[in-house]
């Protein structure tokens, strides 16, 4: 089970990373296209290339239409997909100078309560995201330039949000086991950023 959850979280993180990389390439292509486009419109280039400049422009050399809409949709998915890995490796920023003085048993109790609440919050977030998606479907909201339905991006994020909720419930169950069984199953890493 632990192996499955670990692999699931890693898989989501890699998927998010791939989407992020794709967005980076997309933005770069768009910047390149825009730069070439304005170059091809400039007088010296037109003088040298003549009609070829126009041919290139007609062929569609220019910025990618609605690139920032794709960035917004993609980056939301990527961030939701990053959450499970952060949960399972305990990557969240915390202040532990005060709790480190407390006995282990108390710390386990704290960690159990925190992770149960965290799971609850992530479930709530996923549920409300689903509600949000339903209302976007109902009003048939589309993006401004590309005209694709907004609920598509919500749906993609929802998948990742549901995985986050599942992983965090699993972690909460582990913490309960740790508290009552008096042993460490899943170590907590420190924050790195």
Interaction site with another protein (CB under 8 A): 10, 13-14, 16-18, 20-21, 23-25, 27-28, 30-31, 35, 68, 71-73, 75-76, 78-83, 85-87, 89, 91-99, 107, 110-111, 114, 117-118, 121, 124-125, 128-129, 131-132, 135, 153-154, 157, 161, 190-193
Please say which residue, 18 or 50, places its beta carbon nearer to another protein.
18
Where b means 16+ CB within 10 Å and e means fewer, 163-190 reads bbbbbbbbbbebbeebbeeeeeebeeee
Please say which residue, 183 or 193, places its beta carbon nearer to another protein.
193
Owner of token pair 């508290």: 179
Query: Cβ of residue 51: shortest distance to another protein, in angstroms?
Result: 28
Query: Cβ of residue 111: shortest distance to another protein, in angstroms?
Result: 8
Query: Cβ of residue 124: shortest distance to another protein, in angstroms?
Result: 7
Query: Cβ of residue 8: shortest distance to another protein, in angstroms?
Result: 13
Please say which residue, 55 or 131, places its beta carbon nearer to another protein.
131
Please say which residue, 51 or 115, places its beta carbon nearer to another protein.
115
Residue 98, Cβ density class (10 Å: 0-12 exposed, 13-18 middle, ≥19 buried):
exposed
Query: Cβ of residue 20: shortest distance to another protein, in angstroms?
Result: 6
Please say which residue, 55 or 128, places its beta carbon nearer to another protein.
128
């Amino acid at each position: 089970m632990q192996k499955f959850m670990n692999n699931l979280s890693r898989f989501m993180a890699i998927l998010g990373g791939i989407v992020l990389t794709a967005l980076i390439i997309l933005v770069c292509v768009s910047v390149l296209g825009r730069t070439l486009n304005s170059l091809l419109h400039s007088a010296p280039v037109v003088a040298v290339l003549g009609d070829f400049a126009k041919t290139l422009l007609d062929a569609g050399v220019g910025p990618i239409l609605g690139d920032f809409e794709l960035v917004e949709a993609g980056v939301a998915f990527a961030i939701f997909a990053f959450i499970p890995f952060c949960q399972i490796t305990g990557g969240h920023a915390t202040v532990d100078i005060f709790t480190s003085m407390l006995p282990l048993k108390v710390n386990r109790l704290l960690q159990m309560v925190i992770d149960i609440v965290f799971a609850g919050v992530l479930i709530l977030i996923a549920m409300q995201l689903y509600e949000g998606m339903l209302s976007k479907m109902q009003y048939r909201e589309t993006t401004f330039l590309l005209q694709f339905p907004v609920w598509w991006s919500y749906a993609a994020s929802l998948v990742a949000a549901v995985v986050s909720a599942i992983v965090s419930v699993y972690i909460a169950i582990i913490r309960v086991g740790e508290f009552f069984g008096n042993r460490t199953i899943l170590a907590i890493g420190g924050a790195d950023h």
